[in-house]
Amino acid sequence: MTTSRRLADRKVLKFEKNITKRGAVPETSTKKGKDYPVGPMLLGFFVFVVIGSSLFQIIRTATSGGMA
């Protein structure tokens, strides 16, 4: 069976459109932004607790003479 010229031209045109679209995909599919998964207040509180706890431990160790 032979294919009609119109059908063949349609397939060729579709293939050529696909070829011209190659490489036009964005580098990442995730959106880029400055959104944090936690709020700045919660992050600040966490840093305060961690740094405060470590300073408290250092002071406690220094005042006890290095013995736990």
Domain residue spans of the chain: 40-68
Place of tokens 């995909």: 25
Dump strand ranges (E) for the chain: none
Q: State how far the Cα of 10 lies from the Cα of 3, in Å rounded to an integer.
A: 11
Q: What is the pLDDT of residues 10-47, one digit of tens each?
A: 988 888 877 766 666 666 666 666 666 888 899 999 99
The Cα 51–Cα 49 span in angstroms is 6
Mean pLDDT value across residues 42-63: 94
How far apart CA 21 and CA 13 sit, in angstroms, is 13
Non-local CB neighbours of 46 within 8 Å, separated by 6+ positions: 38
Q: pLDDT at position 66, please?
A: 64
Predicted TM-score (pTM) of this structure:
0.42
Q: Give residue 26's pLDDT.
A: 63
